[in-house]
Amino acid sequence: MERFRNNNQLLQNIQEVLLKHLADNESGQDLQIVELILNSGLLAKLPFINRFTVQDCSDLVLTKDSFKYAHQLQVLSIKRTRNVNLAMGVFSSLNSLNIEDVEYLRFQPGSFMGASGVATISIRRSFISELPIFALYNLTGLRTFELDNVNLGNIKSQSLHLQMDNYQSRFIMTNCRGNWGAQLASRCLWVDEPERGTCLFYLVNTFRSSCEMMSRTMS
C-alpha cells in the first residue's frame, strides 16, 4: 500500500484521483452539472480512507462496488446534492451515514444489505421519494436514527426494520412531513428487549412537529 508522509500529501492524492476520474468521464463538461458515479476503480487507490464526503454535486450514484476496497470507511457524508441513488448492498462496513440537503434521495431495495456496524443514520432537509422493500432492513446495533426536516413519499411493506443497540438508543423525528411516523417507530426493535420485557415508545417532546422516541420497560 502506498504511504503518505503527511495529511497534505494524502489530500492532494485524493484530489488528483477524483479530478482525473471526472476528466476521463466528463471531459469538456461543466463539473457543476455532471453525474458522479462512484465505482470501485475510483476508490481502489484510496483503501485506507475512513471518512468520505461528497457535496455540491448534481447527480451522485453509489454502486454496489463503490466502497469495495474502502474497508476502513467509517463515515460517509453527502451534502447539497440534487439526486442521490444508493444501490443494493452499497455499504459493506459503515459506522455513520450523514445526508443533508438532498432534493431526491433514492434507496434501492437492499441498500444496506451486508452492512455491519452501522451506528448512526442521520438525514436532514431532504426528500426521500420512496422506501422500497428491504431498503433499510435488518440493521442491527443502531444507536441513533434521525430524520430532521425530511419529507418521505411512500413506505413499502418490509422496507424498514431497525434493531436499536440498547435502551439509550434514539429514534428522532423533527419537522417531518407525512403520516408515517408511527409506521417507522413500530418497526424499531431494541435488542435487549427480551431481557427487559416488552417495550413502549413514549414522546419526549410533545410538540406536533417534533418527537423523540426511546424505549422503556413495561411495569
Instruction: Establish if 25 belongs to a structural domain.
Output: no
DSSP 147: E
Q: For the chain, first and last CA: distance in Å?
A: 56
Supply the pLDDT for residue 82: 92
Q: Which positions ≥6 away from 110 have C-beta within 8 Å?
A: 88, 89, 134, 135, 137
Supply the pLDDT for residue 92: 67
Supply the pLDDT for residue 156: 79
DSSP 42: H
Instruction: Establish if 21 belongs to a structural domain.
Output: no
Quick one: pLDDT band at residue 216, thresholds 50, 70, 90? Answer: very low
Supply the pLDDT for residue 98: 96
Supply the pLDDT for residue 192: 47
User: Which residues, listed in sequence order, are joined to residue 214 by a DSSP beta bridge?
Assistant: 202
Supply the pLDDT for residue 167: 64
In this predicted structure, the answer to whether residue 136 has a pLDDT above a threshold of 70 is yes
Structurally, how many domains does the chain consist of? 1
Instruction: Establish if 23 belongs to a structural domain.
Output: no
Instruction: Establish if 115 belongs to a structural domain.
Output: yes
Pairing of strands 199-203, 210-217: antiparallel
Cα-based distances in Å from 120 to 145, 172, 200: 6, 11, 22
Instruction: Establish if 19 belongs to a structural domain.
Output: no
Mean pLDDT along residues 204-218: 41
Instruction: Establish if 166 belongs to a structural domain.
Output: yes
Instruction: Establish if 15 belongs to a structural domain.
Output: no
C-alpha 70 chain-centroid distance: 16
Supply the pLDDT for residue 158: 78
Pick the closest to residue 39 from 65, 77, 10 (CA basis): 65
Mean pLDDT along residues 60-76: 82
Amino acid identity at 132: P
Amino acid identity at 66: S
Name the residue with higher pLDDT: 71 or 96. Answer: 96
**From CA 83, how far away is CA 102, in angstroms rounded?**
7
Q: What number of other Cβ atoms are within 10 A of residue 5's Cβ?
A: 7
Mean pLDDT along residues 140-160: 83
In this predicted structure, the answer to whether residue 123 has a pLDDT above a threshold of 90 is yes
Instruction: Establish if 196 belongs to a structural domain.
Output: yes
Enter the pTM of the model. 0.74
**Which residues span the domain enclosing 157?**
32-217
Mean pLDDT along residues 142-160: 83
Mean pLDDT across the chain, nearest whole number?
71
Supply the pLDDT for residue 69: 77
- List, edge to edge, every strand of the sheet that includes 210-217: 35-38, 51-62, 75-86, 96-107, 120-131, 144-155, 170-174, 210-217, 199-203
Residue 108 near residue 129, CB atoms below 8 Å = no
**From CA 55, how far away is CA 150, in angstroms rounded?**
18
